[in-house]
Structures are given as C-alpha cells and as structure tokens.
Amino acid sequence: MKKSILVIALVAATGAMFAQKKTTTSGTVNFDATTSLDQLPKAENKTVIVAIDPKKGSVAFEVVMKNFTFGNPRIQEHFNGPRWLDSEKFPTATFKGNITNLAAIDFKKDGTYDADVAGDLTIHGVTKPVKTTGKIVVAGKALSANADFSIKLEDYGVDGPQIAAGKISKEPKITVAADLQ
Amino acid sequence: MDAAKKRMNPWLKKILFGIIILSIAGAGAIWYIFNEKFSDTNEIKPDYTVNALDLIHEFEKNDSLSNRKYGEKIMVVNGLVTQVEGADTTVNIKMADTTSGSYVIFAFQPQHRYEAKKIKEGELVSIKGSCSGGAYSQILETEFITFKRCALNK
C-alpha cells in the first residue's frame, strides 16, 4: 500500500515537473538584414526572455530592442533611431503564440521534435501573425528550442532610403534560440 | 601635352584639385564609418557607479525616469551574482532582488566573454557595461534591466 502511494506520488511529481512553465532570461535572437551591398546590418541579443509551457503549448518571448548589439556603432544608432525601429518609443518586441502540433511532442521523453508555432509578433508597435516550424530538444528536465523566420519590414511600418536602396534587406532573417529550465 | 597644361585655366586647376581633395576626404570618411568598432568597455570612463539592488529599486519605482537617466550610459554595477545563465555559447551574469524577482542582467563584450565564464554564483563582482534600459516583463511579471558590451570592472 505504502509502495503504491509512493509510486503515485512520484508519477504526480514527475508530471508536475514536466508540466511547469520553462523559462530563460538568456535566450538569443539574431537579426540579419545583410544584403550583397552591405554586410553590416546584423545583430544579436542575448538577454531575451523566453517561456514555453509544455502543458498548454504556449510560447512567448520578449526582446529589449536596445540590447541588440551590432559590430558597427553607426548601424546600431540607425537601428534604434526614429527612422528605423524607434526603440525609444517602442522599447520591446514580443511574440505570443502556441505550438499547434503539441500532440507530436513528448515532453517526458528525450528527443528532438519539430514544433509548428503560430502566434503574434509585435515589432515597432505593429502586431502581425507569424508561423514557423522550429525544433524542440528534450533532455531530462531541460528544453532547448530554436526557430527561424523572416519578416517583411514594411509590414511593421519600417522603411527608409537605405532599405529602398538595397543596403538593408527588406525581409531580414530572425533566429531565436533558447535553453530553458 | 605641355601646351595643354599651359592653356589650362588656373581656376579650373583649383577646382579639379578641390574635387580630388574632397573625394579623398569623402572616401576616408566612408571607410572610417564602415570600419568603426565599439571601444573596449574597460577603456571607457563610467558615467555612474551603482549597487545592483539600488539600481533595481530605482527602476521598479519609475522605469521611464530611470531609462532617461541611464539609457546608453556606461555604468559600473556592483553586486552579488545570483545566477550564471547559459546564453548560446557563452554566459550572462544576473544580479536579482530575491524578494521581488526583479533583476539586472549583463551580456559580455566578445573579448570579455571568457571573464564571465569564470564568475560563480554567490560572488561579489563589479561589472562595467552599457545600460540598455529596463522594462516590466509581461512573461515573468518582474522588472528587468539589461546591459550589453560588458566587462569585469578592473
């Protein structure tokens, strides 16, 4: 009897452990708007808050725009400036979505799974739907996740002569990666 | 050829010379802009030196005001390391208020990333970096302040 209770308690504890929301405050977002004319507009941000709820299948991230680091100071200044991302007025970018094929991912079993994710991405104060397929790696209690997708800058109200001149990609590639505990 | 030189209007000569000088200066300026790099943070004099918990409380009180005061400033932050968190191939250093959960996080400059890997949780450290500002996280429901291009303060 005691053994049965212990087993039930262990199973319940394990279930609760896997069901709880996994987070990190050190997710990475890479932004690549390079073109054949200009290799400078690319940046990384390593302090991204990322959360995945294995039970609900929700996925979210928050990025502080001014924490993107570029190699070139001038490009970083333009990136945050009022003619581009206007980071003073719109300090964060956010994503809120869900894993749409949650049944295909076994968060209790180690392995690499394809995760179809759909949700709303807000950049520059504009919210647009985004869909992508990423990877989720389950390794014990830890999860790691990564996905990449492209956005159209004009969809988010970002334009300017440098974009029109082809020095900045009209559809930058965004890569998100996170190790969650 | 000599005859052509003799015939050249002296004003035209001056204009051509001016154009050449301006072209060289313009090319130099463009080269400088494209090859400009951020200075090593350790070589920059800080605008502020603060205690991590005091900084967190200041942002919690009014983050708009704090963002205006500290945004893009080089700061030295002293405090207790509460977490060394993996960030891709490197690590970030966190100093948190364990009561509220609010935190300040430091992402290191590429040439200083090896320093971050040596830092341990529970250590008292002094970190210099560029303050990117603070915000309230809807995900974590806490205030967080981010720093970029950090180095151990020497």
CATH number of the A21-180 domain: 2.40.128.110
Alpha-carbon distance B134 to nearest alpha carbon in chain A (angstroms): 8
pLDDT at B37: 85
pLDDT at A7: 47
Phi first, then psi: what are they for B47, rounded to 5°? Answer: -85, -30
Locus of tokens 């928050």: A62
Summarize pLDDT for A83-110 with one digit per residue, the tens.
889 999 999 999 999 999 999 999 999 9
pLDDT at A10: 44
A49 touches chain B (CB under 8 A): yes
pLDDT at A15: 44
pLDDT at A69: 94
pLDDT at A143: 94
- Report residues of chain A scoring pLDDT below 50: 6-18
Tell which of A67, A68, A95, A167 to mutate to test the B interface (max B CBs under 10 Å). Answer: A67
A53 touches chain B (CB under 8 A): no
Q: Where are the domains of chain A?
A: 21-180
Cβ partners under 8 Å of residue B50, min gap 6: B75, B76, B77, B78
The Cα–Cα gap between B127 and B145 comes to: 14
pLDDT at A1: 52
What letter does residue A153 receive in the DSSP assignment?
Answer: G
Asked if B144 contacts B135 with a C-beta cutoff of 8 angstroms, the reply is yes
Fold of the domain spanning B41-152: OB fold (Dihydrolipoamide Acetyltransferase, E2P) (2.40.50)
Asked if A122 contacts A97 with a C-beta cutoff of 8 angstroms, the reply is no
The Cα–Cα gap between B137 and B144 comes to: 7
pLDDT at A13: 43
Neighbours of B122 (CB within 10 A): 9
Q: Which of B24-38, B57-71, B123-137 has the lowest mean pLDDT?
A: B24-38
Kindly report whether the global pTM for this prediction surpasses the value 0.80: yes
pLDDT at A152: 94
Alpha-carbon distance B38 to nearest alpha carbon in chain A (angstroms): 6
B132 touches chain A (CB under 8 A): yes
Summarize pLDDT for B71-102 with one digit per residue, the tens.
999 999 999 999 999 888 889 999 999 999 99
Residue B40: band (very low, low, confident or very high) from pLDDT cuts 50, 70, 90 = very high
The Cα–Cα gap between A169 and A52 comes to: 30
Residue B113: band (very low, low, confident or very high) from pLDDT cuts 50, 70, 90 = very high
Cα–Cα–Cα angle for B118, B119, B120, rounded to 5 degrees: 115
Q: Considering only alpha carbons, which residue of chain A is nearest residue B84?
A: A26
Nearest-10 crossing angle of helices B52-61, B63-70: 130
pLDDT at B5: 56
pLDDT at B13: 85
Percent of chain B with pLDDT over 90: 73
